[in-house]
Amino acid sequence: GAGVSQSPSNKVTEKGKDVELRCDPISGHTALYWYRQSLGQGLEFLIYFQGNSAPDKSGLPSDRFSAERTGGSVSTLTIQRTQQEDSAVYLCASSLGSAGGYGYTFGSGTRLTVV
Amino acid sequence: DAKTTQPNSMESNEEEPVHLPCNHSTISGTDYIHWYRQLPSQGPEYVIHGLTSNVNNRMASLAIAEDRKSSTLILHRATLRDAAVYYCILYSGGGADGLTFGKGTHLIIQP
């Protein structure tokens, strides 16, 4: 597709369950960010991938969070043993490269609700 | 420490130009100035970016001060659809310190 695709668009899960969120970046885009945005709050950095380099995981809030990017394309963000404070919109963004001259395209996000 | 400073909110009338300011006095030579906006209940949207020269695209214009310590995003003719939070970001590369979103400017458009 022409844009960044995220699935599911909405996810309701019970506390303690694991969830997987998917991001399909634009074809050929090597840089990829994950953010989360709680209601009424700003964007919080989670993790960054660039090509085959080791990801910058410094924003992951706990060891319950992990992410991978297979083949330099699709990325999945996994949250284990979900907690109510994990409820937020999870956003993915991709770019042609990591240099400053490239803009990022965002997906529409996955709204996660932990009940 | 925030790398950019923007007003919390601004108000403008529909069909009038809007000038959104951003101060970035500690900008480095490798920092590009990026602008994104976030409409209600949507993900952020890329608007424009530049390094030293003024830039124009179909959405907006970016005016960069000669010393690069400030910039202005110009919406030439605001519509109600332009009501959003506008973020000015200094970006020189990816990672945790890369595309960092502050609080932005909440732009209100009056009909």
Q: What is the pLDDT of residues A46-60, one digit of tens each?
A: 999 999 899 999 999
Least confident of A65-74, B17-26, B66-75: A65-74
Average pLDDT over residues A42-49: 95
Q: Give buried/exposed letters for A59-92 (b at 16+ CB in 10 A, else e).
A: bbeeeebebebeeebebebebeebeeebbbbbbb
A79 bridge partner residues: A19, A65
In one-letter notation, the amino acid at residue B38 is Q
Chain A CB within 8 Å of residue B92 CB: yes
CA angle A76, A46, B72 (to 5 degrees): 120
Residues of B in contact with A103 (CB under 8 A): 34, 46, 49
Percent of chain B at pLDDT > 90 equals 88
Separation CA A86–CA A110 (nearest Å): 12
Q: What is the pLDDT of residue B2?
A: 59
Question: Do B46 and A99 lie within an 8 Å CB cutoff?
Answer: no
- Contact assessment for residue A24 and residue A8, using Cβ atoms and an 8 Å cutoff: no
Question: Do A58 and B46 lie within an 8 Å CB cutoff?
Answer: no
- Contact assessment for residue B24 and residue B4, using Cβ atoms and an 8 Å cutoff: yes
Query: Which residue has tokens 């042609």?
Result: A96
CA-based nearest residue to B73, from B93, B59, B83, B84: B59
Q: What is the pLDDT of residue B33?
A: 96
Question: Would you call A42 exposed, middle or buried from its count of C-beta atoms within 10 A (0-12, 13-18, 19+)?
Answer: middle
Q: What is the pLDDT of residue A1?
A: 53
Please report which confidence band the pLDDT of residue B105 belongs to, taking 50, 70 and 90 as the band edges.
Answer: very high
Question: Per the omega criterion (within 30 degrees of 0), is the bond before A8 cis?
Answer: yes
Q: What is the pLDDT of residues A62-79, one digit of tens each?
A: 999 999 998 879 999 999
Separation CA B36–CA A42 (nearest Å): 13
Disruptive mutation site among B46, B47, B64, B71 for chain A (greatest number of A CBs within 10 Å): B46
Separation CA A19–CA B85 (nearest Å): 30
For the cut 60, the answer to whether the pLDDT of residue B1 exceeds it is no
